[in-house]
Chains A and B, each alone.
Chain A
């Protein structure tokens, strides 16, 4: 996962700054089924936040509660310092783009975009220039008089975006806006949407189940699972320091090895003891030790680094060439009956002549190891 570049948040935030959107203890029930469990969340002005999680975890439900389309069972939503918890959508301030786009098929692109501008005592000429401006913004000035059915999926998506932005809402909600598109258009539009959002500075929430999308676009990611928030953090935090084993597993690839807490700073895995930073809550008992494939360091005798510290002798079981890097599977009697997967650079593999069957030493750097409670 090389593309997790850090992004400067749209506006520098001090902890004292009051959030633009504050969700407190929000619970949503469908009959006896609880789709969201006491969700609390704060989103700041100008932020781009992604709700990320597997299908059915409640992302759309949360988004619709924020919009007032399906109001929560309990809990509050405050927007811009005002409690909007019980308000219908028409009395809230947001624009929304659905997965289906929901473009009005019998209206031209221009009419679709103008839809929200009518009935507001806005002059016709004013509406017209605003629509042109929006068409320009989403890069579709030539398509104004076409009908949605005459546009490609990506173009339709941008019309839907323009329609949602027409009334200059304070909050933009996007429900899987890219999932109906093919991979290439999707990659392009990711960039476009993010650039547009930064230009307008509009606070944006995007729902997605595509981790790459979330990691490349978001200022902060809200990882959800089964109606709970698992973690909130920047893409880098989410990737580097997954708070739960669910997040560790859901985002990127992760090696999981069972272990037992040995001391306040070490865990016993198989026959060896690994130094690591333990959470205080994990004072004893069985745990799961996790490390990313790219964090496993192969020891080179000539460089002699890290000697003795979390170093394990492993045999190379499988080597798979994946273009720009090599994925290797290691096994070792000392860590028990699990395989460790590592991503190695081609240079390194060539230099050390790592092939199936060779035995090497690898280090599991202390600061890269994450330890989770067994079923946590």
Chain B
């Protein structure tokens, strides 16, 4: 009988450490990890570093310490924007979260009809650039608008306009988060509350609200970040009301003061980053709640409550669709407000500034490349992080890098790209002003959400697929292409569509980066609006909407088809 007697728990010091031999598979995998890690370094870390260092330099590139910052904080005209930004973001957060909560409540806790319709309508703002609600507001409440009386003499250009536009723009994001939080409620809690004869308001305040608290907090931080970093709405409807995002734009485009642009960027980075990290912590808690999932709540019909909720949902839908309808109307009217007959005159983009129809097709090209390459980069990257062997430290670092873009405002990223890629000594200088830099910046800008979608899908895969495959002496790319990709196909499509839609609508990151041959539709909206061609801007904005909506519908059809084809093996 062989036995190793339980001796003291010591590691044999004399023993030789085994140095695992890397297989060919391991080498391939390491090469992939290296390439993708390098991508994130070049596309994110280096540019941000370049921007940071620029904020400590003078115009000639000499290090001048905190001089730029001192100048910034010594200029009240500039620092006042900090207050403005925070003011607008806080007000928007309060309004949006309240509106979104009631809407989410109606969608999850009432028995009102047409829930699917109302939810889809509430998602519409995701499909338009944030410039568009601003344009709608100009037509509604502007000096020659349709119903300026409703503002009782207040000016739509300024905080009021910005807040309304931002509420429109952020509503879907908040709604999704709160719906998730509300649908994990445990019906047993409600049953016991009812058994204790708690009144309805009491149940609402003691059970419903606390149950959704993480969702509410998370939604609040997301809305705050989106608003404070948004550039489109304040640009169109802000008037003389300066915020940080517009300041960056003005410093860079207006005054060519790149160093000050960098300083403002750093200032804007701080609240965005703080909000982001608080949100991550809160989301982790919410996930913990989710996994301890209990009996889901089934709403009971209640005539009065359901009709109130229905009325509310109609109002919200009216708000959203109304804004779009105004834009579409403005786009079709020949010469508002003098000639109200309809026509396609405003669609002759080639006659205006902003790049004409070419910019629309450029946008589609850019969005297609972004979706295609972005999905590949993101999914392969997430796969390496999740399923890779070895490189522990590197993979952890990659994960950190992948989370960063969420905290970086688009304008900041765009400016960082100018500093990094336009540096004459950068060998990658040649991509400056090309389609490639637009695609790279957009992929990077929207990396985090895509990465998290991919990681979530990959985590649901059996952890041993790779082990089984290598025990059968098959290379990892075989299990990747034959199993991982087919099983994750729905998530892969989600990532692609997310990237496509955002590439169509984004303004902030690309506004510094487009060149004469690579004008984009969303930037054209901005430039036409700037030049006073508001109607064509609205027309172009609506083109973006129809394109994004069309792609979404296509995605819906394709997903349904895939689901039907694969349900045989997806069923559990």
Interface residues of chain A, those whose CB is within 8 Å of chain B, are 25, 27, 29, 34, 37-42, 67-69, 71-76, 85-91, 94-96, 98, 100, 102, 104-107, 115-116, 118-120, 147-150, 163-164, 166-167, 225-233, 237, 243-244
**By the criterion CB–CB under 8 Å, are A167 and B473 in contact?**
yes
**By the criterion CB–CB under 8 Å, are A115 and B472 in contact?**
yes
A-B contact pairs, 20 of them (CB 8 A): A27-B11, A34-B9, A37-B7, A40-B2, A67-B467, A69-B467, A73-B17, A74-B18, A88-B21, A88-B25, A88-B26, A90-B24, A95-B471, A96-B467, A98-B462, A98-B464, A105-B483, A105-B570, A148-B569, A167-B473
CA distance A166 to B474 in the complex (A): 13
Contacts of B15 in A (CB 8 A): 25, 27, 38, 74-75
Asked whether any CB of chain A lies closer than 8 Å to the CB of B266, the reply is no
Task: Given the known inter-chain contacts A106-B487, A107-B483, please indicate yes or no for A39 contacting B462, CB distance below 8 A.
Answer: no
Interface hub of B18, B21, B24, B483 (most chain A Cβ within 10 A): B18
> How many residue-residue contacts, CB under 8 A, span A and B?
146
Q: B36: shortest Cβ distance to chain A, in Å?
A: 22
Q: B389: shortest Cβ distance to chain A, in Å?
A: 8
Contacts of B483 in A (CB 8 A): 104-107
Q: A307: shortest Cβ distance to chain B, in Å?
A: 35
8 smallest CB-CB distances across A and B, nearest first, come from A116-B472, A88-B23, A74-B15, A147-B569, A102-B464, A71-B20, A89-B470, A86-B21
Interface hub of A34, A72, A88, A237 (most chain B Cβ within 10 A): A88
**By the criterion CB–CB under 8 Å, are B4 and A88 in contact?**
no
CA distance A228 to B3 in the complex (A): 9
Size class of B's contact patch?
35 or more
A interface footprint on B1-41 (CB within 8 Å = 1, 0 otherwise): 11110110101100111111111111000000000000000
Task: Given the known inter-chain contacts A34-B11, A104-B482, please indicate yes or no for A89 contacting B471, CB distance below 8 A.
Answer: yes
Task: Given the known inter-chain contacts A106-B486, A148-B569, please indicate yes or no for A98 contacting B2, CB distance below 8 A.
Answer: no
CA distance A231 to B3 in the complex (A): 6
The interface residues of chain B, by DSSP majority, are classed as loop
Asked whether any CB of chain A lies closer than 8 Å to the CB of B572, the reply is yes
Contacts of B7 in A (CB 8 A): 37-38
Among residues 243 to 285 in chain B, which have CB atoms less than 8 Å away from a CB atom of chain A?
none
Asked whether any CB of chain A lies closer than 8 Å to the CB of B434, the reply is no
Task: Given the known inter-chain contacts A88-B20, A89-B471, A107-B482, please indicate yes or no for A25 contacting B12, CB distance below 8 A.
Answer: yes
Task: Given the known inter-chain contacts A104-B483, A119-B478, please indicate yes or no for A85 contacting B18, CB distance below 8 A.
Answer: yes
**By the criterion CB–CB under 8 Å, are B21 and A243 in contact?**
no
Asked whether any CB of chain A lies closer than 8 Å to the CB of B566, the reply is yes
Asked whether any CB of chain A lies closer than 8 Å to the CB of B559, the reply is no
Given A68-B20, A89-B467, A100-B463, output 19 extra A-B contacts at Cβ < 8 Å: A37-B4, A73-B18, A74-B11, A90-B25, A90-B470, A94-B471, A98-B468, A107-B483, A115-B474, A119-B478, A149-B568, A163-B468, A167-B472, A167-B473, A225-B6, A227-B9, A228-B4, A231-B1, A232-B1
Asked whether any CB of chain A lies closer than 8 Å to the CB of B87, the reply is no
Contacts of A227 in B (CB 8 A): 9
Asked whether any CB of chain A lies closer than 8 Å to the CB of B571, the reply is yes
Residue of B whose beta carbon sits closest to that of A98? B464
**By the criterion CB–CB under 8 Å, are B468 and A102 in contact?**
yes
Asked whether any CB of chain A lies closer than 8 Å to the CB of B362, the reply is no
Contacts of B482 in A (CB 8 A): 104, 107
Residue of B whose beta carbon sits closest to that of A173? B471
Among residues 408 to 452 in chain B, which have CB atoms less than 8 Å away from a CB atom of chain A?
none
Q: A374: shortest Cβ distance to chain B, in Å?
A: 14
CA distance A73 to B12 in the complex (A): 10
Interface hub of A98, A104, A233 (most chain B Cβ within 10 A): A104
CA distance A39 to B4 in the complex (A): 7
Interface hub of A76, A149, A237 (most chain B Cβ within 10 A): A149
**By the criterion CB–CB under 8 Å, are B11 and A163 in contact?**
no
CA distance A120 to B470 in the complex (A): 14
**By the criterion CB–CB under 8 Å, are A41 and B2 in contact?**
yes
Contacts of B18 in A (CB 8 A): 71-76, 85-86
CA distance A149 to B427 in the complex (A): 52
**By the criterion CB–CB under 8 Å, are A164 and B4 in contact?**
no
Q: B48: shortest Cβ distance to chain A, in Å?
A: 32
**By the criterion CB–CB under 8 Å, are A116 and B474 in contact?**
yes
Interface residues of chain B, those whose CB is within 8 Å of chain A, are 1-4, 6-7, 9, 11-12, 15-26, 462-465, 467-474, 478-479, 482-483, 486-487, 566, 568-572
CA distance A37 to B465 in the complex (A): 29
Task: Given the known inter-chain contacts A27-B15, A167-B473, please indicate yes or no for A104 contacting B571, CB distance below 8 A.
Answer: no
CA distance A229 to B376 in the complex (A): 47
Task: Given the known inter-chain contacts A40-B4, A231-B3, please indicate yes or no for A164 contacting B464, CB distance below 8 A.
Answer: no
CA distance A37 to B3 in the complex (A): 12
CA distance A41 to B462 in the complex (A): 31
Task: Given the known inter-chain contacts A27-B11, A69-B467, A149-B572, please indicate yes or no for A102 contacting B25, CB distance below 8 A.
Answer: no
**By the criterion CB–CB under 8 Å, are A105 and B3 in contact?**
no
Q: B164: shortest Cβ distance to chain A, in Å?
A: 48
CA distance A262 to B483 in the complex (A): 67
Interface hub of A94, A96, A233 (most chain B Cβ within 10 A): A96
CA distance A223 to B16 in the complex (A): 26
Q: B477: shortest Cβ distance to chain A, in Å?
A: 11
Contacts of A100 in B (CB 8 A): 462-464
Q: B464: shortest Cβ distance to chain A, in Å?
A: 4
CA distance A56 to B469 in the complex (A): 26
Q: B23: shortest Cβ distance to chain A, in Å?
A: 4
Task: Given the known inter-chain contacts A37-B9, A86-B21, A102-B464, please indicate yes or no for A233 contacting B1, CB distance below 8 A.
Answer: yes
CA distance A94 to B470 in the complex (A): 10
Interface hub of B9, B26, B472, B482 (most chain A Cβ within 10 A): B472
Task: Please pick, from B3, B4, B23, B462, the residue contacting A102 in the complex, using a CB distance under 8 A.
Answer: B462
Contacts of A98 in B (CB 8 A): 462, 464, 467-468
Interface hub of A107, A115, A230 (most chain B Cβ within 10 A): A115
Q: A28: shortest Cβ distance to chain B, in Å?
A: 10
CA distance A115 to B469 in the complex (A): 8
Contacts of B21 in A (CB 8 A): 86-88, 91
Task: Please pick, from A96, A106, A166, A243, the residue contacting B1 in the complex, using a CB distance under 8 A.
Answer: A243
CA distance A88 to B566 in the complex (A): 34
Task: Please pick, from B16, B23, B462, B465, the residue contacting A74 in the complex, using a CB distance under 8 A.
Answer: B16
Contacts of A27 in B (CB 8 A): 11-12, 15
Contacts of A91 in B (CB 8 A): 21, 23
Q: A74: shortest Cβ distance to chain B, in Å?
A: 4
**By the criterion CB–CB under 8 Å, are B465 and A102 in contact?**
yes
Q: B17: shortest Cβ distance to chain A, in Å?
A: 5
Q: B7: shortest Cβ distance to chain A, in Å?
A: 7
Contacts of A104 in B (CB 8 A): 465, 479, 482-483
